């Protein structure tokens, strides 16, 4: 296969498909190149019981606001994939599935060459939309764990029944780590959760969902210039859950229910695993992030003449934690890594990445003419990579592409 196209979009998730939607409105020829199937990350890198943390009313991809019967509910994995397929069916982009791009090069004339399994595609413009993060991250010391332990990444976990009998250590305490800890605990497993720094939110603030208020208040519209840049790029999403109709889920609720919390994972010496004595600092960090959001929400409510609720602000959490665990003595047979992701753009042969591997861009436009990025975590705003916000960035990129063409 060898042919020319005006615009090639690499990635068929929410970022690539949002870009396709706007290009179709603008009448710009393009193709979406997807390594597997549309929305593949949602299909195959989530556990069986996964559901969204954002309420259905905040599911707003271009031209497809949620219009179902349960705006306050939380889409299950099956419902989310159905939503994607219905959306794609509504505008029918040209998508080539099972078409991974393993090399992108800039040609001498300024065009781009994309190597795919059957040959090459030449494009005048390329939009890289391969996800906020692509490579699962394991922290330093991961290689020291006993080799007999069953180790899985969060994306390969599936369900409690897929793990061998025994207790479980989860390393990483963002949304995923907390949700898996809750699920495994409810399934009767003893769970130890190695905790890091992560924000948390109550499920509801007053009579509204806190995520809805997060968006309405402008908190999710914060730009990199407004936060602790660049460290914020590696912060996890705030601890919360949509399970059981949506409820609070964070360090305090897990501790209350019987999950053992320990500090940051440090490594192992034989069968003994070490953890830092820093749980209090991690909880304090999350409390401070909730205070940041709470201030935005209160200003938003006051500005609109709405009552400010009495916030239930918990006291500092101070509990005794163990710094060493003998996995055999504790009956731990499995370790689940939920310690985040890192960018992976090694296939893009262009000098447009910083030392941490993130693309250097402005409003999605890189320093290489015609090379764009969409769906990058904190690309323009906090919401840049999520279902609620990715369409805004895609529209800006498409407007720039259309202007460049003219």
Both structure tokens of 354: 């910083």
Question: 35 and 104 share a domain?
Answer: yes
55: CB partners within 8 A, 6+ apart: 71, 72, 73, 74, 209, 211, 212, 242, 246
Q: Are residues 110 and 177 in the same domain?
A: no
Q: What is the reported pLDDT for 1?
A: 54
Same domain, 390 and 301: no
- Of 341, 364, 385, which marks where a domain is finished? 341
Whether residues 193 and 328 share a domain: the answer is: yes
Residues 154 and 301 in one domain: yes
Q: Rounded to an integer, what distance in angstroms lies between the CA atom of residue 202 and that of residue 180? A: 18
Which domain-ending residue is among 287, 321, 341? 341
Give the start-end residues of each E strand in 216-326.
Answer: 236-239, 260-262, 265-269, 272-275, 324-326
Last residue of a domain, one of 341, 358, 391: 341
Q: Same domain for 129 and 24?
A: yes
77 CB-contact burial (10 Å; exposed 0-12 / middle 13-18 / buried 19+): middle
Same domain, 144 and 282: yes
Please give the angle made by the CA atoms of 239, 246 and 243, to the nearest 5 degrees: 85
Indicate if 184 and 298 belong to the same structural domain. Answer: yes
Judge if 57 and 180 occupy the same domain: no
Query: Based on the domain organization, do 326 and 178 belong to the same domain?
Result: yes
pTM over 0.85, yes/no: yes
Q: CA 21 → CA 26, 63, 93, 186, 279, distances in Å? A: 9, 8, 7, 41, 45
CATH code where residue 164 lies: 3.50.50.60
Q: Determine the structural domain holding residue 101 and report its residue range.
A: 2-134+343-405
pLDDT tens per residue, range 140-174: 999 999 999 999 999 999 999 999 999 999 999 99
Q: Do 225 and 121 fall into the same domain? A: no
Count the domains in the chain.
2
The residues of the chain scoring below 70 in pLDDT are: 1-2
239 and 324 share one domain: yes
């Amino acid at each position: 296969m060898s042919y020319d196209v005006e615009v090639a979009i690499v990635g068929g998730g929410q970022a690539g498909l949002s870009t396709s939607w706007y290009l179709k409105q603008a009448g710009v020829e393009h193709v979406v190149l997807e390594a597997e199937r549309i929305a593949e990350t949602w299909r195959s890198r989530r556990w069986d019981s996964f559901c969204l943390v954002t309420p259905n009313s905040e599911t707003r991809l271009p031209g497809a606001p949620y219009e179902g019967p349960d705006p306050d509910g939380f889409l299950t994995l099956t419902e989310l994939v159905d939503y994607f397929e219905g959306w794609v069916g509504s505008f029918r982009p040209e998508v080539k599935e099972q078409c991974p791009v393993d090399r992108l090069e800039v040609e001498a004339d300024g065009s781009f060459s994309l190597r795919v399994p059957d040959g090459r595609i030449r494009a005048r413009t390329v939009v890289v939309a391969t996800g906020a993060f692509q490579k699962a991250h394991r922290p330093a010391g991961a290689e020291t764990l006993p080799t007999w332990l069953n180790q899985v990444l969060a994306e390969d976990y599936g369900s409690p029944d897929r793990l061998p009998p025994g207790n479980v250590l989860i390393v990483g305490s963002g949304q995923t780590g907390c949700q898996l800890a809750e699920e495994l605990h409810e399934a009767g497993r003893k769970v130890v959760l190695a905790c890091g720094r992560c924000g948390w939110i109550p499920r509801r603030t007053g009579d509204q969902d806190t995520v809805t208020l997060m968006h309405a208040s402008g908190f999710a519209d914060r730009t990199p210039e407004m936060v602790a840049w660049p460290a914020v790029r590696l912060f996890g999403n705030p601890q919360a859950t949509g399970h059981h109709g949506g409820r609070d889920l964070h360090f305090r609720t897990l501790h209350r229910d019987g999950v053992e919390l320990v500090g940051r994972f440090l490594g192992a010496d034989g069968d003994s695993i070490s953890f830092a004595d820093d749980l209090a600092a991690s909880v304090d960090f999350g409390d401070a992030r909730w205070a940041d959001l709470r201030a935005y929400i209160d200003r938003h409510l006051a500005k609109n003449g709405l009552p400010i609720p009495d916030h239930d602000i918990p006291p500092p959490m101070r509990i005794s934690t163990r710094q060493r665990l003998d996995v055999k003595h504790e009956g731990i047979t499995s370790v689940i890594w939920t310690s985040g992701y890192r960018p992976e753009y090694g296939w893009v042969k262009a000098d447009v990445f910083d030392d941490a591997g993130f693309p250097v861009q402005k409003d999605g436009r890189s320093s290489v003419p015609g090379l764009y990025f969409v769906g990058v975590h904190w690309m323009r705003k906090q919401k840049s990579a999520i279902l609620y916000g990715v369409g805004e960035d895609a529209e800006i990129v498409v407007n720039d592409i259309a202007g460049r063409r003219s």
